[in-house]
């Protein structure tokens, strides 16, 4: 029987990252779950479901910690077959108009969401071979535009562009790179944002499917893009937002 594939997921302590990690384990992946916070609860859930997991702690803005995360994954499982760059900063503060957006907040958002993605990919690549796959997480906002969250939108636009560039660069090495663009998903962090509870019904009604999005809605599309059924797909962005925008 073929050895089970290995997936490294960042931002896996909660929300979509935890859903990705558990969903992959349930589908037969061995999973390294990494986050700046502890992933022990995620790995405990993986073990309870009969899967094999590894909990890692890393700040993706630190190149050395990214290298350590990738090396620990390869040391435990022998290699990295797939990388899911989910770790990102969204923030619990309210939306901010351009004039009130402080430069350090803009810089921090880009450092985590864009440069952190770059550092993660660069660290994982030495442990990936032909046939590997990478999935970056952008946002449906990059296709729609919106007010008062400029720093987040800019960071996710950078992730989208990075994914397409990486697909060109890594294609000759047999490594596919795609992008998932979720709509606003009701994770723990999102629920803590001021005003979300009041706006949730209107946000759901604006989608073609007319419903709220959950972290579990993202798992199937993500694992499809990382798995063998998408072997001829690279450089593509899949919007999963219940029909909010059409790219």
In the structure encoding, which two tokens stand for residue 224, read together? 């499809």
Q: What is the DSSP letter of 187?
A: -
DSSP state of 92: S
Cβ neighbours of residue 148 closer than 8 Å, sequence gap 6 or more: 95, 96, 97
**Closest of 230, 134, 214, 227 to residue 182, by C-alpha:** 214
Question: 176 has which bridge partners?
Answer: 133
CA distance 100 to 86: 28
Per annotation, catalytic residue among 20, 29, 77, 152: 152
Distance (Å, whole) CA 125 – CA 82: 10
Report the distance separating Cα 226 and Cα 133, nearest Å: 5
* Residue 27 token pair: 């589908």
Closest CA to 219 of 3, 12, 4, 1: 12
- Of 180, 171, 59, 175, whose CA–CA distance to 120 is shortest? 59
152 is catalytic: yes
CA 29 – CA 20 distance, rounded (Å): 11
Backbone Cα Rg of the chain? 17
Catalytic positions are: 152
């Amino acid at each position: 029987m073929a050895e089970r594939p290995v997936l490294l997921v960042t931002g896996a302590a909660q929300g979509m990252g935890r859903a990705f990690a558990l969903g992959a384990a349930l589908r037969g992946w061995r999973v390294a779950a990494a986050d700046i916070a502890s992933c022990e609860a995620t790995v405990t859930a993986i073990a309870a479901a009969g899967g094999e997991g590894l909990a890692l702690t890393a700040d993706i803005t630190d190149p050395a910690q990214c290298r350590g995360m990738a090396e620990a994954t390869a040391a435990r499982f022998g290699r990295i077959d797939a990388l899911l760059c989910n770790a990102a900063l969204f923030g619990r503060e309210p939306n901010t108009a351009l004039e009130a957006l402080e430069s350090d907040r803009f810089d921090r958002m880009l450092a985590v969401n864009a440069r952190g993605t770059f550092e993660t990919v660069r660290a994982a690549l030495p442990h990936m071979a032909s046939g590997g796959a990478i999935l970056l997480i952008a946002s449906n906002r990059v296709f729609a535009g919106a007010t008062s969250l400029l720093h987040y939108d800019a960071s996710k636009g950078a992730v989208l562009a990075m994914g397409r560039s990486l697909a060109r660069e890594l294609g000759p090495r047999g490594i596919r790179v795609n992008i998932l663009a979720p709509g606003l998903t009701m994770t723990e962090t999102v629920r803590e944002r001021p005003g979300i509870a009041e706006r949730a019904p209107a946000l759901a009604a604006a989608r073609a499917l007319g419903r709220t999005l959950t972290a579990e809605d993202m798992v199937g599309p993500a694992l499809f893009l990382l798995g063998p059924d998408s072997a001829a797909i690279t450089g593509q962005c899949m919007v999963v937002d219940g029909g909010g925008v059409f790219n």
